[in-house]
Structure 1
Amino acid sequence: MKRSTPLTTIAAVAAASALTLSGCSSPEDDKAAQHSQHETPSESASSEDHGESHEHATDGGQPPEGIKEASDPTYSVGEEVTLTADHMPGMNGAKATISGAFDTTTYSVSYTPTDGGDPVKDHKWVVHEELDNPDRAPLADGTEVVLNADHMPGMKGAEASIDSSTEETVYMVDVDTDDMTMTNHKWVVEGEVQPGQ
């Protein structure tokens, strides 16, 4: 009888240890699965798909101070166009109306939101006039900047890095799709716009 007690105790301890170990590893396994699932959409997306794209304000507001209106834009204010940009769901192929056309340098940026959101990669677009005290345009790829743009939560005041830039005419658009209705959406560049049909 005395010998059975230690064996029973050892068996119970071993079983409890196995349960504890499996319990400890389970959250890590779950975390890895969640992380993997989180990354999969962004890896397959052709542009930005960071879960925040739908958080653009429904009214983008006025153009930033100091931006220069385009002198001879391909698409004039009030013109109906078709978007080929895929910054957010429902945008590619959407009908839109040009609400502003500007000559400036436009940047794709990566940044970490100030509100604790996940890092955003290759956000299209911010214009030179939406940067805090920038050097002369165009800024080189990799340049560190601070954003004054307020397109999405956590963007204003965020530290960012320039991914790429373009000198194409940049447009604000009014767009209405099944997924969104937006006025003065900022921004689409000329290569993301086609004549309306």
Structure 2
Amino acid sequence: MKNGKYPPALTVAKDPVYPIDSRVVIRANHVPGMEGAKAVVNAVYETTAYKVSYIPTTSSEEVKNYKWVIHEDIEGANSEAFDVGEEIILNVKYKNGMDRAKAKIESVVQTNVYMVSYIDSRNGEKVKNYKWLIESELLPLKEN
């Protein structure tokens, strides 16, 4: 999500690998211009992250293996994690057509999720508070 807002009622991670203000390198390609970009950690939370496939409310073309929707983004979520294969309703506006879309859980990861700000490697655009990356999608930035 570009220029996202901080989410309400999430549990702040107690001992994350990358604390707030850490400088990292993104090794994920959720959106063009992200992979290899230098970033700063804005927030880190403990939650369950889901890879989902969904049909946008604005189209009939399925989006497969979208990374990441967090537990708090799912309608009717309680304290129990959802299982692979479960059908859910998304309660997010990360992309046009996601809010209220029906989705299927493809994978489940209990992890820390990171909100980061970075510079798009294609066009130099500042992306603030991008949601979400998981620890395995980040590397420490080694500055000379």
Instruction: Give me the TM-score of the superposition, normalised by structure 2.
Output: 0.91
Give yes or no for the alignment of 1:60 onto 2:34: no
C-alpha separation in 1, matches of 2:47 and 2:64: 22
C-alpha separation in 1, matches of 2:126 and 2:102: 29
**Amino acid in the other structure paired with 2:141:** G
Match in the other structure for 2:129:
184
Counterpart of 1:77 in 2: which secondary structure?
coil
C-alpha separation in 2, matches of 1:168 and 1:194: 16
Native 8 Å contact 1:105 1:137 kept in 2:
no
Native 8 Å contact 1:96 1:176 kept in 2:
yes
Match in the other structure for 1:160:
103
**Amino acid in the other structure paired with 2:115:** M
Alignment gaps of 5+ in structure 1: 1-55
Match in the other structure for 2:14:
71
Match in the other structure for 1:175:
118
Aligned residues: 140
Give yes or no for the alignment of 1:82 onto 2:25: yes
* Bigger fraction of residues in strand: 2
Match in the other structure for 1:94:
37
CA-to-aligned-CA distance 1:23-68 (integer Å, 9 cap, x gap): xxxxxxxxxxxxxxxxxxxxxxxxxxxxxxxxx4x311122x2211
Native 8 Å contact 1:108 1:126 kept in 2:
yes
Cα RMSD for the two superposed structures: 1.3
> What's the offset of the Cα at 1:137?
3.0
Which 4+ runs in 1 deviate beyond 3 A?
none
Over the matched positions of the two proteins, sequence identity in percent amounts to: 36
After TM superposition, list the pairs within 5 Å mapping 1:140-155 onto structure 2: 140-155=83-98
Which has the higher Rg, Structure 1 or Structure 2? 1
**Amino acid in the other structure paired with 2:132:** W
**Larger RCO (CA under 8 A, 6+ residues apart):** 2
**Amino acid in the other structure paired with 2:134:** V
**Amino acid in the other structure paired with 2:131:** K
Instruction: Give me the TM-score of the superposition, normalised by structure 1.
Output: 0.68
> What's the offset of the Cα at 1:92?
1.3
Native 8 Å contact 1:110 1:161 kept in 2:
yes
Native 8 Å contact 1:78 1:98 kept in 2:
yes
